[in-house]
Amino acid sequence: MLKIRLGVAPAAGTGPPAFAGLAERLEDAGVDSLWLSELVYSSEVDPMIGMAHALARTSKLKVGTGVAILPGRHPVLVAKQLLTLAGLAPKRVLPVFGLRPARPAENDLFPVPAGKRAAVFDESLTLLRRLLEEDEVTFDGEFFQVSEVRLGPRPAKRLDVWLGGSAPAALRRTGRLADGWLGSFLTPAQARDARLAIQEAAAEAGREIEEDHFGLSLAVAEHGLPGELTAAAARRNPGAPLEDLVATSWADARRLVEQHIEAGLSKFVIRPGHGDFEDFLEKFQAELAPLQN
């Protein structure tokens, strides 16, 4: 039986003042995990700093990035951050990385050579994985060269690295190089196809991704669909029925989560489509938390 777990993301625009007590509130409510997006041109907290804050204020809550951008960052610095967090909060750090920012205006903040973003992502991820798994790393790639790098002790439990993205190349990359996958704006049928494509790519690479390492980020907008959310769904999955991409009621949210479970997914990030987080959390606990096993 797959281990079903549901976490939450803060409401859009949640800045440091509102975020300050959020982690404790979620842990007290028994929520499995908190997920932080990388949206630079916004009031939202930086995901790495937000993770450090949330982990320091709690003892059980898991905290993840959903998603952070890897190409444009040096993998050694990212590895050092993750190893530090994992050392301070064992088994509670859940990094998920993506190819490019959700907002095109932020692309220039993560500079890579022109036309090379996918290649940089592959090499960054390869080097990052080695830095997280080996005591000493020497690496001579097209974009990164390091010699005899040692970053200190590694956590007793291996740190998994998940990826986002749903393009065919992203699914193949996940199968070849990652430990899990977090999709978004996909119908249950599309999510099933994505899972199978990842598993096929992993098998071709002589790897296996654990069957409960497939997840989905799902927004719940019970008070009407915000324009930005509607636009994001249309941009990410043009032509797909909107009611299969975004839940417009908690009954819809339960239906979609159950359908995604049937499609072989087991980890979910539930995002509020509106700003009343206390109301969202109360309904999340009543409607969706019972699906966990």
Structure tokens at 265: 């997914």
- Average pLDDT for runs of 10 along the chain of length 293: 96 94 97 97 97 98 97 98 97 97 95 97 98 97 98 93 97 98 98 98 98 98 90 93 96 98 98 91 97 96
Which residues span the domain enclosing 226? 5-291
Interatomic CA distance for residues 99 and 18, integer angstroms: 29
Structure tokens at 36: 């932080």
| Closest CA relative to residue 64, chosen from 213, 177, 186 | 213
Interatomic CA distance for residues 293 and 284, integer angstroms: 15
The CATH number linked to 83 is 3.20.20.30
3-state SS assignment for residue 184: strand
CA 200 to each of CA 101, 156, 203, 205, 273: distance values in angstroms, whole numbers, following the listed order:
27, 29, 5, 9, 34
Which pLDDT value is given to residue 1? 86
Which pLDDT value is given to residue 199? 98
Helices (H), the chain: 16-19, 22-28, 47-56, 75-88, 117-133, 168-177, 188-204, 227-236, 250-262, 277-287
Burial class (CB within 10 angstroms; exposed 0-12, middle 13-18, buried 19+) of 216: buried
Q: Cβ(60)–Cβ(27) under 8 Å?
A: yes
Pairing status of strand 137-140 against strand 145-149: antiparallel
> CA angle, corner 287, sides to 239 and 245, nearest 5?
5
> CA angle, corner 96, sides to 55 and 208, nearest 5?
120
Which pLDDT value is given to residue 251? 97
Q: How many domains does the chain have?
A: 1
**What is the pTM for the complete model shown?**
0.96
